[in-house]
Structure 1
């Protein structure tokens, strides 16, 4: 397994990303040739070796040939440029996903339709090249997974097309929602909207843990050199000799609260409505609170986008006065479902895989219960018959 890991200790921008991935091994001539497939003139990619605070790496700069003639574009113009190019379908998909992240954020900030967003910094040629270039570089590296550390946003203020804004800029703040971040290392914009969108669109998991051997380290050099912190983006190439393609990682949220004053029969209703509103799982844990009061800890697992509505459910349908929220990563086995025919009837069986082999086989309980009643046998008899049928079929 080949993994790209972003170490964003000093933030990330579009040009820092290009520099880091070129330093990691992307051929700059190949990148230039692919960028020409956009069929737009007026810019060129310059790469050179540079250093910040003694750290050497690659400085990538998109040079605009006639900046006075530079125009800004709407999302539909950028989509037309990308879709009409001869870039690969995967590169187009990745690039448009990054652009869309920014467009959605800008639309929310200005309360307008996404297609009416008038890109300023991101609609310019240098940002188009940064974003499409990011997609080209990722496709070139052919990694199986992309990981990232928490993202340093910086501090202070930044000058944007709309005036002086706090760091993170409003669009950046929206893009990094549900992404672990840090602030205040430097008093300037450490992570740009473009850098944030590249991470949001391509990273599979945000973590501080590097579990695989590092085969290569590279640095993208930032344009700014005004603080004691090295303005660089560090990336690692991690490689494992034991690929694990049957395990998928994804971000998740856990909501928890402790309750000692709710009627026991109300818990079942609360669980039902939480699951109905999109919770992945709900469980209750008996606990002892202060003054030896018996209580229940309610835990709710969900995708990050469902956290807001599930918090509303907890506040409305339980007696809790507060909720704890944690952002975690889930690691899931590949799963499948198969229908087998037994002497009692058809049964769905859930299968999970690890290392390319079936790890667990579990007959669907509701199917087994129904067939047990219909055939006047035990549930265990139905389960055994289903597993035997599965073994015979395979």
Structure 2
């Protein structure tokens, strides 16, 4: 059985997951053409490139919002909150840039707050395979329920701010597309470090992990970590919680492929990457 092992030694976010799946052999052209079915491609561009994180070559995946073309680097993906970590962009200066941009610039400004219901409609009407639709909807439901629970709102009323919405739609639907394109039948994951400290979001200053992240990690083994940063984002938590069938250290299997997806932040003492392994 084709198994994907998620080695989340530096946490997990939606963009790290996509980066890792592209790195291990996911097809970016297929990802792009499938995502076009959502019919929101005038709102974003995808960018992926090889970067070196503390000595490890990995793939960095970014969703760039079209209306102002800034890198969404400091937003932890997939949140109905803007995060402000008070951090500068810390790029690795030893990028070997093989940039892949897809530019089709006709700018339309119709970002708005998308509700959970809007997003479900968007995914259901996109004509994906039933497996992709099902996986994407399950992951979104996990986030919607957690946010609803935290804020005391029914699922249908949960909404995502525009940055969070487009980012998390791409990260979640993209993950579903690539998991099925790679024909993964089972996902096993390590325990999940979440980080520590505080983050500033729309609602004020919150502890790490953010409440919705913690809510989604019920039943998931957490690993203590002293890193003062949000290692695992709500999107990352939702992906792990929905896809993973069991949690363990590296399982006994024959490894066929290994990939690394880069996170936004660079740490002094360890590579901020998600390692994925495909085995039988």
Matched residue of 1:124: which SS?
helix
Q: 1:209, 1:56 → 2: CA distance?
A: 21
1:65 to 2:100 alignment: no
Preserved CA contact (<8 Å) 2:2 2:186: yes
TM-score by length of 1: 0.59
Which structure has more relative contact order (CA 8 Å, sep 6+)? It is 2
Q: 1:161, 1:112 → 2: CA distance?
A: 17
Q: CA deviation at 1:185?
A: 3.6
Q: Relative to 1, partners in 2 of residues 1:148 and 1:221: Cα closer, same or farther, differing over 3 Å?
A: same
Q: CA deviation at 1:138?
A: 0.6
Q: CA deviation at 1:216?
A: 1.4
Q: CA deviation at 1:238?
A: 1.1
TM-score by length of 2: 0.82
Q: CA deviation at 1:79?
A: 0.7
Partner of 1:52: 53
| 1:167-186 matched pairs, under 5 angstroms | 167-186=208-227
Matched residue of 1:210: which SS?
coil
Partner of 2:88: none
Q: CA deviation at 1:123?
A: 4.6
Q: CA deviation at 1:78?
A: 0.2
Q: 1:176, 1:109 → 2: CA distance?
A: 13
Q: 1:227, 1:38 → 2: CA distance?
A: 39
Q: Deviations over 1:116-144 (max 9, x none)?
A: 11223775211110110010011101122
Partner of 2:103: none
The CA RMSD measured in Å over matched residues stands at: 1.5
Preserved CA contact (<8 Å) 2:132 2:173: yes
Superposed structure 1 runs of 4+ greater than 6 Å apart: none
Q: CA deviation at 1:156?
A: 0.7
Q: Deviations over 1:329-379 (max 9, x none)?
A: xxxxxxxxxxxxxxxxxxxxxxxxxxxxxxxxxxxxxxxxxxxxxxxxxxx
Preserved CA contact (<8 Å) 2:111 2:162: no
Matched residue of 1:233: which SS?
strand
Preserved CA contact (<8 Å) 2:4 2:279: yes
Matched residue of 2:252: which SS?
coil
The structure with the largest alpha-carbon Rg is: 1
Aligned length: 239
Q: 1:69, 1:163 → 2: CA distance?
A: 27
Partner of 2:19: 19
Preserved CA contact (<8 Å) 2:52 2:58: yes
1:137 to 2:138 alignment: no
Preserved CA contact (<8 Å) 1:79 1:96: yes
Gaps of 5+ in 1: 240-394
Matched residue of 2:184: which SS?
coil
Q: Which has the higher strand share?
A: 1
Partner of 2:158: 117
Partner of 2:72: none
Matched residue of 1:22: which SS?
helix
Q: Deviations over 1:86-120 (max 9, x none)?
A: 21111111001000000111111111211111223
Partner of 1:318: none
Q: Work out which of the residue numbers 112, 134, 139 in structure 2 matches 1:98.
A: 139
Gaps of 5+ in 2: 69-108
Partner of 1:75: 116
Q: CA deviation at 1:69?
A: 5.6
Q: CA deviation at 1:184?
A: 2.3
